[in-house]
Chain A
Amino acid sequence: MNAVLKIILQRLALGVLTLFIVSIVIFLAVNMLPGDFAEAILGQGATPEAVAAIRRDLGLDQPLVVRYWDWLSGVLQGDLGNSFAQANFSAFVGSESGGNAGVAQQIAPRFANTMFLAGVTACIAVPLAVGLGVLAALYRNSAFDKAANVFTLSSISSPEFFLAYVLILFLAVLNPMLPSLSNIYPDMGIAERLQKTLLPALTLTLVVTAHMMRMTRAAIINLLASPYIEMARLKGVKPLRIITHHALPNALAPIINVIALNLAYLITGVVVVEVVFVYPGIGQLFVDSVKIRDIPVVQACCLIFAAAYILLNLLADILSILSNPRLRHKR
């Protein structure tokens, strides 16, 4: 067990290092965006004096390294900074900035919504994909296998918004079972929240299932020529049990990795679906913030996305290690 712990700690350290490098890349990339917040918010009537005043107010006139340091030290203390857009500018209003300006306060509810949507989708998509993959491997090259492949492949090759509108057409317009708008509020009950989230979750399920299902199928079929599978057959083990009990446990590592990648996508890449269903997730907030050059929010979002990828991959690595008895139990 010690060896596993050591590997996990190593990966964790590597993850932190990656996050640090990513933070530099994010900071540089965001600051290289053309235009800046002051010009964006003042619009056509921007005078050089007003722009300079706002820039000074926000610290945009400081050198890059100083700004990076301020930002990083803030983040390390859990302070993601203040949103430019929400700030009250002393230059205009004459009062101290304050109120609801924290990036954290702004992102938190949106992020919770995104996690909720990703969670609901994962709960549907992962069992569905693995189950379909197992069945496709069991009945490989049969009509079922081909149908499952055609269906998942055509859903992954269609644009997300198209899938969304098709689902809206069938599940909200022709058969009004689900609401087509997913405008959820913080004080909503869990049942209503679920109902409102179901359509976007189904859309995303269609998007992510194919990848996971095909990997499950391929990883299992890859093992079917192994001597221990032949042994299981020659012991008279039932075909389904051979797949679930003898092949699947040895095929977990690649499947877990693909699941992790798809979950990361659910957290970071669902802007289009959020827009179609008017779902108040972090994706929309991110796009809006980029539009108005609200740098602290953009940076925080990027950092969250990066952390999600790194954490999920780390988790996948750890689970892969734990799924291998050679690593779990030393000789």
Chain B
Amino acid sequence: MSDKIIINGKEQTVDVDGNMPLLWYLRDELNLTGTKFGCGMALCGACTVHINGEAVRSCVTPVNQAVGKQVTTIEGLSDSGDHPLQRAWIEHKVPQCGYCQAGQIMNAASLLAQNPTPTQEEIEQGMQGNICRCGTYNRIKNAIASAAVQMQEVKS
């Protein structure tokens, strides 16, 4: 079996116990600390990354499940921090402590990839798994809605 993972476009050879959660592999082995630990049980969404474009909770995803796949973290979401969601996050001044926001943005990016024109209810359903203790929820929803509009405008 191959032991390669493409992380943010860069090939990595996995040389740790395959049961190690992807979260700790990213943070402790690769020093990609943008992905955060929050609960360790897929309850809060702070650790959300993409595997082949789909949002997963990296705290409960063994690294061997990512072998042979493309992993995207917040550091690799866009080339220069200009994903429409990243821009919308700044425009709406979303973050307070900011700790959960990488997970929120990664989750939202996957949501918009699957459903480019979500309703308010669909945004809420899609983001229900991501906790923010500072209470930035409404700004998050507004930022997602405005990023969705922007992405549609770019397309058309």
User: Do A and B interact?
Assistant: no
